[in-house]
Chains A and B, each alone.
Chain A
């Protein structure tokens, strides 16, 4: 990986510059339809949708089982996320490893791999990293309570017209707009 300037990864600004190998992002509607076909393929082949937080839940449950088996088996959340076949025979864990591989390959072919901290135009690196950490941990709490995240609830449950998934979409987008407004200085 090579280090790029923050600006260099904004596609519209790299055209005609020295960094012509960095491709602009694809059309959102086209990519959305492609993502929908991937989700449909998952329904049709595996009988289940996409997910992300479930893989983290299985990793957490496996970790707790390794340290204190009775704590994991008696916990209503952790127990359901234990995979009998072990961590790397869990469908969502393998799927999320695929996400990492697919994301890396796509970025590599588009010249978008670079070590950097992405942030708003007026934000410094340390506050950005603190917000990333706090936001990540809070998101973890929310995903446990809601039994899923943007992948397993919003995308998958949304397409299956699940009642809880549409409640999740409304609550998550609503709260995100409020918090984004309160912290708008860090992104604009």
Chain B
């Protein structure tokens, strides 16, 4: 069966950039609608008072994952032509931990800080500016830690191949894990609301 998608549009062409702009607008719209342009709202996830981050993120991951799984099964999308981020084990564990620590201090992540700044939040604007400085400074310092930066390279490896199980099995486990996390999140929110003494909708 022929898999016509993704569209074969040249990188950097006006058509491709029009798509990028449209997708970006929809992305920013979703983040703002969910309240994720707000640092106190986002930090509710990490003070256990408001699990919006988990709910939004895992519903999004499950939706896109299932959509791609079915579209590829129907032969509409050629999965081989969808870019999978490459794995570098050590740098992604260490970088992830550094990133998470910074995110809890900033109260925002890079994408949501753009929404925060765009909607008048000065704390968001400072996160944007300092995030850029951090990327620039660390980027310039990469030659000093090139050995670590390039270590643990596994290429564009996905969980089914790495674990030696069928893609459908991993997909099912992620969906089940997300549903369980949603149930736990609701319980934690209710327990914390009772403890803090104010009921949230």
In angstroms, Cα B16 to Cα A63, docked, is: 24
Q: Which A residues lie within 8 Å of B174 (CB)?
A: 161
- Known A135-B103, A171-B100; contact A84-B12, beta-carbon cutoff 8 A: yes
Looking at chain B's contact residues, is the secondary structure mostly helix, strand, loop, or mixed?
Answer: helix
Are A76 and B142 in contact, with the CB atoms below 8 A? yes
A169 at the interface (CB under 8 A from B): yes
Give A101 to B139 CA distance when docked, in angstroms: 27
B123–A128 touching, CB < 8 Å: yes
Residue of B nearest to A85 (CB): B12
Contacts of B77 in A (CB 8 A): 43-44
Contact B92 A136 (CB under 8 A): no
User: In the complex the two chains form, is A139's CB within 8 Å of B103's CB?
Assistant: yes
Set of chain B residues within 8 Å of A77, measured between Cβ atoms: 138-139, 142, 149
* Residues on the B chain within 8 Å of A161, using CB: 65, 158-160, 167, 170-171, 174
Interface residue A64 (Cβ < 8 Å from any Cβ of B): yes
Q: Which residues of B contact A138 (CB under 8 A)?
A: 98-99, 101-102, 105-106, 134
> Once bound together, how far apart are the Cα atoms of A1 and B11, in whole Å?
37
B34 near A: Cβ within 8 Å? yes
A114 CA / B122 CA spacing, docked (Å): 10
Contact count A vs B, C-beta below 8 Å: 536
A66 within 8 A of B: no
Q: Is the CB of B33 within 8 A of A25?
A: yes
Residues of the B chain whose Cβ atoms lie less than 8 Å from the Cβ of A166: 159
Q: List the B side residues contacting A181 at CB < 8 Å.
A: 46
A132 in contact with B99 given A46-B9, A102-B28 (CB within 8 Å) = no
Contact of B39 among A32, A98, A118, A145 (CB under 8 A): A118
Given contacts A104-B28, A161-B167, 16 further A-B contacts (CB under 8 A): A9-B38, A11-B35, A36-B64, A42-B23, A53-B110, A57-B139, A61-B139, A95-B21, A135-B103, A139-B134, A140-B131, A140-B132, A144-B95, A146-B92, A158-B61, A171-B100
Interchain residue pairs with CB less than 8 A apart (19): A36-B62, A40-B63, A60-B136, A103-B119, A105-B28, A105-B29, A119-B39, A120-B43, A132-B107, A141-B138, A142-B100, A145-B98, A146-B98, A150-B109, A155-B57, A167-B89, A171-B92, A172-B97, A178-B104
B residues with CB within 8 A of A = 5-7, 9, 11-12, 16-17, 19-35, 37-41, 43, 46-47, 49, 51-52, 55-65, 67-68, 71, 76-77, 81-89, 91-124, 126-140, 142-143, 146, 149-150, 154, 156-160, 162, 167, 170-171, 174, 182, 196, 200-201
